[in-house]
Amino acid sequence: MKPVRMKKLKAVILDEKIDNVVRNLHEEGIVELCDLSEKLEDIEWKTLLSPSSSADYVRNVTTLMIKAGRILDMFSSVSQKETSIKDILNPKPVEKKKVSFNSYQEVIEYAEKVLNEISKEVDEPAERLSELDNRKSKLLQLKDQISYLKGLEFDLKYLGPGEYVFIGAGSVPKERVDELKTELDKVADGYIEVFTGNEFEKDKKIRVPIIFITLKEKLESVLSEIRKFEFERYDITDVEGTPSEALSKIESELKAIESERNNLIEKLKALAQKWEKELLAVYELLSIEKERGDAYSQFGRTNRTYYMEAWVPARDAEKAKKLIENSADGFAFVEISEPDEPEEKIPVLLDNPKAIKPFEMLTEMYALPKYNEVDPTLLLVPGFLLFYGIMLTDAVYGVLLTLAGLFMWKKIGKVNEGASKLGYILTLAGISTIIMGIITGGYLGDFLYEFLGFDITKTPLALVNPLGESYYINSNSPLFTLGSISVTNGPMAILVFSIFVGLIHLLIGLCVGFKENIARGNTGDAFINQGVWIILILSIFVGIGLMFAGASATIAGGIIGVAVLLAILASMYKGYKSGGVMEAILGAMDITGFLGNVLSYARLLALCLATGGLAMAVNIMAKLVGESIPIIGIILAIIVLLVGHIFNFVMNGLGSFIHSLRLHYVEFFSQFYEGGGKKFIPFKANREYTTT
């Protein structure tokens, strides 16, 4: 499947109609606007068009957004909502406000009206709250500084300049006090007195508060000298009384401020509850109008017209054309054409069936396909689900994963598109895990055997035992015997299945890559890059099939050997063409890369064993704890079971997700997929709080 075919839309629109055109395109969200600024630098285009700028009304809209944002920030600061676990796990969709505006003027008028009404109620208490906060901050700073002077009993009103003297306060490190007194006495010619208070610790240093009194004419010299001693000056003004008295007054004022603040906050909380939803809707409307106004800067213009270009999916091309013509009341010329730019500049829009669409996020995690490149999403889905189920392979874990996925999909997904997609993927992965768990008899590992004495692998209820023999596959009843190879246990059966699936998976990828190269006319590349490996895989299947049919190993090995030789020669030829003899020699090593890709699928067995083995270890530990510790042993055993299996479920569930993707991103995609496409980003009004 290919990405959606794109068309290029070009339109010339009368300037009086551009606002209505932009508005309707924005609401419909079916085109991606092209930025013409680079194109308009070309000399030929310059003679026809001038660069356009954002619409004039954007300035007014921005001003209103700043005002609305400031009020929203204030509401947020005074009414911090407590989010409960219930709200997180079962969020409620936002109740949207129905709006209907036909122009930016109507939106601006509406926003101004709402903001004026809110300001009448909010501005006064908000300003008073700001004043109180500023006063509180100043008082706390004063309190901090005055508290250091508690050992110096004098009236603080005398601090600062007097008629003849200056009295200053601050602190210095303890070890520098004596030196400070000596040096200050020198620079002030003895016209200075320094008093010290009780030492205190600040920033892991012992400091001493000081009060100095000096003649005003000596102040400049004193301040210049005192700075050399890490002097921290205290700015204490408009305060009367001793430090103890001043601190008492500050405490009283702080209590009064806190009381008034609480009253104002309660008032603002009530206003937030009254206006916040309306204000969020206003802010969203303004944001949408700003986005529309800024879109003008991507256009070109003449004295009376605007010129625009846009990408539009081919299926929506005629719809977009009619929308522009109708919005402009016929005063527009619209042309739809095939893309006239390089593939890497054409945006990519994926279009998979509804059941597959959530998996597009896994493709995007790697890279979007280039335009005209195959979309690998549909090919990724069956392999991802199969590999995930094999790797986690426990029915109980599968049930837990399915429930978690359903919850994320149906609950959290109501308000979060990403959670909805991931929940859907995990739900299907959980179902796959349940199926694989039933096939392998995995129910919390060997829980049934350890605690109930029921070995499900010895019954027809389990097809394969990942950790040993089963009812169907054992030494007396091997899965198959091929020459000297006899598959008599689950691990070997899963390994063979993993390699077989890996070969099929690689074959599919190679066939897709072969088809893509042929479609582009690259017949030689198709044979060298994919064809020889397709032949090699098919020869492996043919050789093994002949051995099952009774042919000798020599014949089967000969067929496979010829294919291997062909692959090596083709790889050497490819290397020789690109870099000469040395590259040809290195090209022969491509066969080891192919072997590495095939063996990489053995991780299916490794993760399967890891899940079952760790689950078994948890069960054994829990049983030992329960049997060896009296009275509380059963409780501890339950705790071990819960913690152990949750850990196993989470870690191996995450590992299965990562390694399933790795097999696609590294082994599978490398056979046919390059990626690097530019995502189609529609010019669309994103509405969370409003609806039309």
Residue 607, C-beta contacts closer than 8 angstroms, at least 6 positions apart? 390, 391, 392, 652, 655, 656, 659
Distance CA 563, CA 551 (A): 18
Query: Are residues 509 and 449 part of one domain?
Result: yes
Convert 515-544 to b/e letters by CB count within 10 Å (16 or more is b): ebbeeeeeeebbbbbbbbbbbbbebbeebb
| Number of domains present in the structure of the chain | 4
224 and 276 part of one domain:
no
Same domain for 505 and 585, yes or no, is yes
Bridge partners of 486?
481
- The one-letter code for the residue type at 152 is L
The alpha helices in 43-176, defined as continuous H runs, are: 43-46, 58-78, 85-89, 104-147
Q: What is the mean pLDDT of the chain?
A: 90
Q: Residue 124: which of 24, 271, 243 has the closest Cα?
A: 271
> Is 194 in a helix, a strand, or coil?
strand
Q: Are residues 156 and 285 in the same domain?
A: no
| Span 287-312, average pLDDT | 94
State the pLDDT at residue 110.
94
* 46 band by pLDDT with thresholds 50, 70 and 90: confident
Boundary residue ending a domain (348, 382, 417): 348
| Helix (H) and strand (E) counts in the chain | 22, 18
Instruction: Supply the pLDDT for residue 365.
Output: 93
Element of type H or E holding 662: helix 633-662
Average of per-residue pLDDT across 618-643: 92
pLDDT at residue 554 greater than cutoff 80: yes
Classify residue 683: in a domain, yes or no: no
Q: How confident is the model at residue 148 (pLDDT cuts 50, 70, 90)?
A: confident
Q: What residues contact 195, with CB distance under 8 A and at least 6 apart?
A: 152, 210, 211, 212
Q: Does one domain contain both 39 and 102?
A: no
Residue 133 domain-assigned (yes or no)? no
Residues 613 and 618: their CA atoms lie apart, in Å, by 9
3-state DSSP assignment of residue 475 = coil
In a domain, 486, yes or no: yes
pLDDT (0 to 100) of residue 617? 95
User: Are 11 and 34 members of one domain?
Assistant: yes
pTM score? 0.83
Tell which residue, 421, 412, 424, 408, has the closest CA to residue 91. 412
Please give the radius of gyration of the chain, using alpha carbons only, rounded to the nearest integer.
Answer: 38
The rounded distance, in Å, linking the Cα atoms of 543 and 561 is: 10
On whether both 517 and 638 belong to a single domain, the answer is yes
Looking at residue 255, what is its pLDDT? 93
Handedness of CA 258, 260, 266, 269 (dihedral sign): negative
Residue type, 251: E
**Which of helix, strand or coil describes residue 608?**
helix
pLDDT digits (tens, 9 = 90+) for 404-454: 999 999 988 888 889 999 999 999 999 999 999 999 999 999 999 999 989
- Structural domain including 279 reads 62-126+261-291
CA angle 624, 630, 636 (to 5 degrees): 55
Residues 421 and 520 in one domain: yes
Question: Distances from the Cα of 274 to the Cαs of 70, 78, 281, 679, in angstroms?
Answer: 17, 14, 13, 41
The CATH number of whichever domain residue 166 belongs to comes to 3.30.70.100
Q: Please indicate, yes or no, if residue 484 is contained in any of the structural domains.
A: yes
Confidence class for position 307, pLDDT limits 50, 70, 90: very high
Inside any domain, residue 686: no
Ramachandran assignment for 209, one of left (phi > 0), alpha (psi -120 to 50 degrees), beta (any other): beta
The structure tokens 């739900």 sit at: 427
* Tens of pLDDT, residues 254-264: 999 999 999 99
Of 79-93, 176-190, 504-518, the one with minimum mean pLDDT is 79-93
pLDDT-based confidence at 86, cuts 50/70/90?
low
Q: 625, 658 in Cβ contact below 8 A?
A: no
CATH number at residue 36: 3.30.70.120
Q: Are strands 160-161 and 165-173 parallel, antiparallel or unpaired?
A: antiparallel
Note the pLDDT tens digit of each residue in 48-61.
899 999 999 999 99
Does some domain include residue 679?
no
Strand ranges inside 344-429, DSSP E: 347-348
Q: Are residues 87 and 213 in the same domain?
A: no
pLDDT over 80 at 154, yes or no: yes
The answer to whether position 136 is within a domain reads no
Residues 325 and 381 in one domain: no
User: Is 527 part of a structural domain of the chain?
Assistant: yes
Quickly state the pLDDT bin for 633 (edges 50, 70, 90).
Answer: confident
Residues 522, 471 within the same domain: yes
Please tell me whether residues 476 and 551 are part of one structural domain.
yes
First and final C-alpha spacing in the chain: 35
